[in-house]
Amino acid sequence: MNNYIISSMKIDLISLFSSDGFEIPFNFKISSKEQALDITADVVGILKNFSGMAHLEADVGVVINTQCARCLEPVKSEIEFTIIEKVEDDENLDGSLLDVGNIVLQNIHLNLPIRFVCDPNCKGLCPKCGANLNNGLCKCDNEIVDERFSVLKKLLD
């Protein structure tokens, strides 16, 4: 199979069930784009007929291009994981056609971190003026500091 980028990957299980122990190796690259999440995955795996049951094994390498949850700057992240599962009558099985691409995408979403940050110490954006605080303090921050001082001053007075 060619390793080009696709949005769907379906494998017909008819030949898989022709004999016990039959195997269908596969290798594809899949991509998905939703809102700020741009995902590309390299998938190498095999479908096995294990006593009449289809077993799926796949190594998935994912590159995620998204934005930092705090400062909105672009973030590139990579994760790798292995899928090992029994294929049963589910939403990904349409007759004898198994939507391996969708199984992979579902597993990618299970393995994604809840949020991405450009750096654990990212300072984020100023809630007042929207300035990226990683590039230095904005004037609003000085005002906040001034306010604190003025409260202290009142208390002292």
Interaction site with Zn ion (CB under 5 A): 68, 70-71, 118, 122, 126, 128-129, 131, 138, 140
Residue 28 CB, shortest distance to Zn ion, in Å, is: 32
Is the CB of 46 or the CB of 69 nearer to Zn ion? Answer: 69
Nearest residue (CB) to Zn ion, 16 versus 118: 118
Rounded to the nearest 10 degrees, how much is the dihedral formed by the CA atoms of 102, 91, 82, 22? -100
Decide: residue 3, CB within 10 A, 0-12 exposed, 13-18 middle, 19+ buried.
exposed
Residue 64: CB minimum distance to Zn ion, A: 15
Residue 62: which of 79, 38, 81, 44 has the closest Cα?
A: 79
Comparing CB distances to Zn ion, the nearer of 129 and 151 is 129
Least distance CB 115 / Zn ion (angstroms): 11
Which of 48, 70 has the CB closer to Zn ion? Answer: 70
| Cβ-based neighbour number of residue 103 at 10 Å | 22
Q: How far is the CB of 143 from Zn ion (least distance, A)?
A: 8
Neighbours of 116 (CB within 10 A): 19
Q: Which of 133, 31, 47, 37 is nearest to 84 (CA)?
A: 47
